[in-house]
Chains A and B, each alone.
Chain A
Amino acid sequence: MDPIRFLTMAGLNVPALKAALEWAKKNDPAQAAEIQTLLDQLDAPIQPAAILDLAAHILPEAANIVRGKLDPRAHAGDAA
């Protein structure tokens, strides 16, 4: 299963998301490489190692938040 199929099964409008990413890639050369990497990842099968890798990042971060240790970042998507 690839991420697009997974997200589509969840009911998300993945074609619209992909179209928006393609548009952003075309209009922002500075971000084009990262956006293309993301689009490639959307088309690739989900690797169990990737899920474990994400969990390995998130669990310590959640523990730090509980302890009151914040490490904020400026995510553009947080404005959505």
Chain B
Amino acid sequence: MKIPIRLITLAAFAVLAAAPAARAGDLAQAFGCYAGVNAAWLQGPGADFPVDVEGAGNVKMSLSPHLSATGMLAYGFSHSYLRWDVDARVTATDVDNPNFNVFLGIGYRGGSIDQLQPGEWAPSAGFGWRPSPEKFPAFTFVGKASYGLKSSNQITYLGGRYALPFNPFK
């Protein structure tokens, strides 16, 4: 199972790496960055800690109606760790609904403490939901679960994100 997922992931990132050929206007529309907090659970062989509160920063490039590339860096306050991941994602719901979607992803993740190592490939699933797009257009609820192919550890988090007014392509 590992080899096909690695191949699919590498193929996905090869496609995404071609995106810089795009027009600057498209890139400005595709890019987004967010800051927020997570409640995170890490479960698996030798890696259990019940829950941690994380501060998180995310970047995303929406490249087509279904395909996106994302990255996240999070700091766990109780266990003093840094955790990161990069994903290629496929939207599994209505691609024209900006307020709710579910995605499936494949990517690579790692972190600064033993429980979050080694760095590994991890399939994932999650969702995003903007509960009040009129009153709070920048706020999004998010959730994601990923499974490490090497460690067999599962990382699940629920969180809130605020869209930051920063775009290097504008």
A residues with CB within 8 A of B:
7, 10-14, 16-17, 20-21, 24, 27-28, 30-31, 34-35, 38, 54, 57-58, 61-62, 64-80
Is there contact, CB below 8 Å, between A65 and B89? Answer: no
- Determine the main DSSP class of B at the interface with A: strand
Tell me the chain B residues, 65-91 only, with Cβ under 8 Å from chain A: 65-68, 70, 72, 89-91
Contact A73:B154 (CB < 8 A) given known A17-B126, A27-B131, A68-B23: no
Interface size class of B (residues with CB under 8 A): 35 or more
Complex formed: what's the CA distance from A71 to B67 in Å?
10
For B21, give its contact among A38, A67, A75 (CB under 8 Å): A67
Which single residue of chain B is at the shortest CB-CB distance from A16?
Answer: B156
Residues of A within 8 A of B66 (CB): 54, 57-58, 61
Shortest C-beta distance, B136 to chain A (Å), equals: 12
B155: shortest Cβ distance to chain A, in Å?
9
The reply to whether the CB of B129 lies closer than 8 angstroms to some CB of chain A is: yes
Majority secondary structure of chain A interface residues (helix, strand, loop or mixed): helix
Inside 8 A of A78's CB, which chain B residues have their CB?
32, 58, 60, 62, 68, 70, 89, 103, 128
Distance in angstroms from A29 CB to nearest chain B CB is 11
A11 to B90, CA, bound (A): 18
B34 & A79 in contact (Cβ 8 Å cutoff): yes
Q: Indicate if the CB atoms of A65 and B67 lie closer than 8 Å.
A: yes
Q: Is B112 an interface residue (CB 8 A)?
A: no
Q: Is B143 in contact with A20, judged by CB distance below 8 angstroms?
A: yes
